[in-house]
Structure 1
Amino acid sequence: MKSTLSPDRTELKERWAEYKLANPKSRIRDDAKALGTSEAELLATGLGSHVQLLDGDFRELIKEMGSLGHVMALTRNDHVVHERKGVYEKISFNNHVGLVLGEDIDLRLFLGDWKFGFAVSENERYSLQFFNSFGEAAHKIYLTEKSDKKAYDALVTKYLATDQDVNLFVTEKKEKVAEPDEVADFDQAVFQQEWLALKDTHDFFTLLRKHKLSRKQALRNAPEGYAHRIKPESMKPLFDAISETRLPIMVFVSNPNCIQIHTGPIKKIFVMGPWLNVMDPEFNLHLREDAIDEAWVVQKPTEDGIVTGIELIDKDGVMFNQFFGKRKPGIPELAEWPALIELHSIKF
């Protein structure tokens, strides 16, 4: 059944077309900001042509993602894009929290606010794209030349919304409030003791919530020797050193709805404008270096010894990118990793 655009969507579609003519290299996320709308609302202007609205329980859809075979998983936030190719394997859910634990595609999914889903076909490129209630991209899955297109078509048919002529109602997002310099009712000594008593890196989030600290506030109040800043321009020499040594690392990129992880080496590194890029056959990373307000080297105790990470934080205090040496529970971190950071990071 052919879809008829509502007047509002028709007007937005026309505005977007005009904007793309003037800005042909701009991407949809940036287009949405420029037009004062959301990415999901822009995408919905294609309903009835190259975009199809999905419905149903997205947990069940994700559980079937392995049927597509080799795909590209994409998770991003405002400052970094993480693209990893592979197969969705070992998929499980506990309520709305999901895990994908394949050798290549490694995800933590938070589906409580996965509001909209679309199947998109553009220039023979097929994808499944999911958005939260604010119309922001949660996670995207693209077919590759190795994917099973028939399985994709079957999934789209199975989860296709009955009504394709709908208006999307997104929630208006509140403006971010700057964090205070001082933390009220904060006992630094107790916080530092509890930091030093950590048994697992995942417990750090609980520690921050308990003491009502932002990431920046926590790092500024770390125990002596457990957190120090490095210059944001450290990332290029660090990437180059990782590439040259073939040291396997873990690259975490997160948004409120998904965390995506690459584990392994990174090889082809180059800079284009503000973007620091990794362009390997199975893994791509695009990091806006000018978005790094603070870069920290952070150490946390675990039952397997100290775990060292690099954390990138933007001007709003949001931690948007993390790097670790390759490790698994029960195995200490690679000794080469903190040594590489010490040797190649640019200190204040």
Structure 2
Amino acid sequence: MAIRNLTGVSQFLLLGFSEELELQPFIFGLFFSMYLITVFGNLLIILAISSEAHLHTPMYFFLSNLSFVDICFTSTTIPKMLWNIQTQSKVITYEGCITQVYFFMLFAGLDILLLTVMAYDRFMAICHPLHYTVIMDPQLCELLVLVSWVINVLNSLLQGLSLLRLSFCTFLEIPHFSCELNQMIQLASSDTFLNNVVMYSGAVLLAGVSLKSGGPFAGILYSYSKIVSSIRRISSTQGKFKAFSTCASHLSVVLLFYCTSLGVYLSSAATHSSHSSATASLMYTVVTPMLNPFIYSLRNRDIKRALKRVCGIVGIKRPSVLGQMKRP
């Protein structure tokens, strides 16, 4: 098979999930519905938090940022997949693939770091309640989000630039619904040693960024170990329940994100099947961002009230506009 330099590569083929034509309308409808739910659900969370003054706290500030990142995370892959299904095309340009890798890594890394920052916020609120408002001031919250962005922008830029040195075959099929860094490196026809070094170094660097220990997941475990210890020292059952309820939604999202991510790697390692890996990766790229708004709204009374107020305002404004239009 002939080999071209990276400048000769113009497009790749994303194989997706199924090549059976009769399943394409079902797949399109399913993922289009999930994408709309993800976008509108997270937008409602952002709107509810921004419109309610009593929700302008560190916890909800981080939640609104997480909702924004989830929208962007899903938007890096699903619209392109829907477009390919609708147009009966599997083509993605070389530039489009590199861009998709960059933004996929950017928002996936932001998800991880924001979940870690939110765990630290809950740790401070439960374990150090008297110092919480002093330590978690708006400047620190904004700085934590800014640092998360800077770290992931630089890491994603480094990973994306490292792909530009690779050469690929003139005809390349990607057995996935999107371009992923690991897939691209495996399918390259040139030496990938440097790319593997950069990829794993970036992973180690990202894992080394934490507030209390050696990595995001370790930081989350540390925070919740301290939270559990503090809750156990509370004498009243009502006090324990109230303390736990403040972090229950975040804990549910963390478990969902890390369990689905772990499932992707375990399934790909056990089966060595790209198709099963693509199916499993849907859990944390599509399903988890879609479920996050439901988890936070169903288990949080403040979010419920804010959502009802926002939906009520929308419902009131719409009839009034219609009424004005009917007037002569």
In our comparison, the structure showing a higher alpha carbon Rg is 2
TM bracket, shorter-chain basis:
under 0.3
**TM-score, L = length of structure 2:** 0.24
**Structure with more helix by fraction:** 2
Which has the higher relative contact order, 1 or 2, with Cα contacts under 8 A spaced 6 or more apart? 2
**TM-score, L = length of structure 1:** 0.23
**Structure with more strand by fraction:** 1
